[in-house]
Chain A
Amino acid sequence: MTRQQAGPVTGPGPDSTARHARGASARRRAAYPYAMYLPAAVVYLVIFLIPTGMAFYFALTRWTLFDSTFVGLDNFRDFLAEQNLRIGFQNTLFYAVVTSGLKVVLGLLLGVLLTSKLRLRGFLRSVVFFPVLVSTVAVGITFSMLLAPDTGLVDKALALVGVSGPDWLGGASTALLSVALVDVWKGVGLATVIYIAGILSIPQDYYQAVAVDGGTAWHRFRHVTLPLSWPATYSVIILSFIGGLRSFDLIWTMTRGGPGFTSDTIASIIYKQYQAGFFGLSTAGNVLLFLMVTVIMVPLTYLLGKRQVTT
């Protein structure tokens, strides 16, 4: 102790600490060279960052991949003016809100159910989680069969109770909702395991405190589980909202945006315009999707993050 205090007196104080710091940073440079970023950075820069940046230019052009003519904001105007393109915005937002909302509610319920003292708990957890790992195309095809009008299992089951089921995927008003529900079926397992992890990390003391006060199961849920699993809710909302805004594969295998354009999302419109050879228009769709994701995700992350700090 005394020696350390004597240090600055005997030696040139500030200089020595500076040299020490320089030594440490030199050591750090040698130990953790920035060059180790390089392989990842190169792939990421070339395959992801450059195309993302170039999109902002190509979106303003009429483009054939080989040459491009600058047309200003024409592509964006088309996107916002044409009904069959504009519908993509509503649908994308609807899809993201429905899927993430249902995943939060059902994921929380299943999470509570599967952390209670339930026989076959492990089995049920596996059953709920497995669809997350199955290919989206396979799920889409299977559910197209199950939802087929009249002959599909869902309509047959409804017929048993005397309800004549709609043409789920063929009807303009039900197509997008049906796909969204299948998305929930496939994705709720992920929300559930996130909630299970969140609920299991709540200290038992809180539940004991409720028990001491004579609280019911509802009290336990309302005043302990629900507020303290907020980080899990936050993750589920963010994850499923990002997924919902970008979703393409399930919609494409089940309805291809049909009937007409009624279940088109921005991602499926991007693909359709690409197939039709309108590369500039397709890229404008990408830019719009980028803007939509940013405009929604940045405030959402901020708002939810703030809530997380205060609770």
Chain B
Amino acid sequence: MRAVKRFGGEAVALVLAAVIFLIPFALMLLTAVKNQVQAIDLDFAWPTEWRVVQNFTEVIQARDYVLLRAYVNSIIVTVASVAIIVVFAAMAGFVLQRRAGKLGALANFLVLSGLIIPPAVVPTIWLLQGIGLFKTLSGLILVEVAFGLPYAVLLFRAFIAAIPRELDEAAMIDGCSGLRLFFKVIFPLLRPVTITVILTASVAVFNDFVNPLYFLPGDGNATVQVTLYNFQSQYNTQWNLLFMDIVLITIPPLLAFVFFNRKIVAGLTAGSIKG
């Protein structure tokens, strides 16, 4: 009897959670493949007509291939800023972990500040304009790097703490120190945490909406999130195309999730348990 009750409770919890968390995705997928007339209903009726390919090509071609260009921009920004974050944060995390002292304390303080303090937007625009990088991809990349560094430094520092110093000393006896010690000996050992940083930072940058909105305004060189935001007002009668856009934009994080779920979870929960 108790087993039955237990099983019943489990089943209810399971169904409830699945419904609450899956229904919005079901709506996205169903609406994305319907025709325009049926899509207006925004319901869960089975598509009368499967327009996967047509909706896909229509969304891609819309407004002179704006989505395609946005995709290219998003990929450039993501790849460039994540690559820079990995190298810069790994180096900083290494020195920070190995060499305590006044400067280390200051660096620790700055890392924590970076995690907490909301960035001052208009002064950042003013500064980017001053160095000629406002409304450029390079400017946005620098912004993503600056805001992404603190968390990456934390992850690298925590991982490097587990690498024995004896290794550094052995390398130093062989005449390796500084940059050579780091790139020849330490960096290859950081592979697991590097993958974690790449994944968490990529998802964050690719999904970022606020920074492109402020620092890369205009339609010409928008990123996918801003394009999606603009589609919302332009396609308010063509829900099928709007949701096809959403599906297309959700595919990269979905792939990351399918292949690297554990790594991402490890990265996001790192350090949160030991405080």
Contact = CB atoms under 8 A, between A and B. Distances in A.
Interface of A: 27-28, 30-37, 39-41, 43-44, 46-52, 54-55, 58, 63, 65, 110, 113, 118-120, 124, 126-139, 141-143, 145-146, 148, 151-153, 156, 185, 190, 193-194, 197-198, 201, 231-232, 234-236, 239, 242, 245-246, 248-249, 253, 267, 270-271, 274, 279, 282-283, 286-287, 289-290, 293-294, 297, 305, 308
Contacts of A246: 118
B68 interface: no
Specify which of B18, B116, B182 lies most central, judged by the most chain A CB atoms within 10 Å of its CB. B116
A30 B13 contact: no
B261 to A, nearest CB: 6
A287 B120 CA distance: 8
Interface in B182-220: 182, 203, 206-207, 209-210, 213-214
Contacts of B273: 194, 197-198, 201, 231-232, 235
A127 B118 contact: no
A54 B42 contact: no
Given A27-B172, A270-B121, A36 B13 contact: no
Given A194-B273, A308-B275, A33 B242 contact: no
Contact of B146 (A31, A43, A58): A43
B249 interface: yes
Contact of A31 (B84, B168, B268, B274): B168
A294 to B, nearest CB: 8
10 smallest beta-carbon distances between A and B, as pairs: A235-B272, A47-B146, A55-B120, A51-B123, A40-B88, A40-B92, A133-B253, A51-B124, A135-B207, A31-B177
Contact of B88 (A39, A198, A248): A39
Contacts of B153: 40
Given A54-B126, A65-B126, A129-B257, 9 more contacts: A31-B172, A39-B91, A52-B120, A126-B257, A134-B253, A143-B24, A156-B43, A232-B273, A239-B272
Contacts of A194: 268-269, 272-273
- Chief secondary structure at chain B's binding surface: helix
B110 A128 contact: no
B225 interface: yes
B117 interface: yes
A289 B116 CA distance: 11
Contacts of A267: 118
A286 B120 contact: yes
Interface string B30-48: 0000000000011110000
Given A134-B250, A151-B42, A282-B121, A46 B127 contact: yes
A58 B92 CA distance: 31
26 contacts: A27-B172, A31-B168, A34-B99, A35-B178, A36-B178, A40-B149, A110-B17, A118-B14, A127-B22, A129-B261, A133-B203, A135-B228, A138-B249, A145-B239, A152-B42, A193-B268, A197-B273, A201-B273, A231-B272, A246-B118, A249-B210, A267-B118, A274-B122, A274-B214, A283-B122, A297-B116
Given A129-B261, A286-B118, A51 B24 contact: no
Given A133-B257, A253-B229, A50 B142 contact: no
B98 A31 contact: yes
A54 B125 CA distance: 12
Given A47-B127, A118-B14, A194-B273, A153 B43 contact: yes
B21 A131 contact: yes
Interface centre among B13, B116, B122 (most CB of A within 10 A): B122
A270 B210 CA distance: 12
B95 A231 contact: no
B98 A47 contact: no
Nearest to B227: A137
Given A30-B178, A110-B17, A36 B95 contact: yes
B105 interface: no
Interface string B262-275: 00110011001111
B62 interface: no
A141 to B, nearest CB: 6
Contacts of B265: 129, 193
Contacts of B10: 118-119
A142 B24 contact: yes
Contacts of A139: 24
A5 B33 CA distance: 83
A44 B122 contact: no
Contacts of A39: 87-88, 91-92
A271 B217 CA distance: 13
A28 to B, nearest CB: 6
Interface string B217-243: 000000011001100100000010011
Contacts of B76: none
Nearest to A132: B268
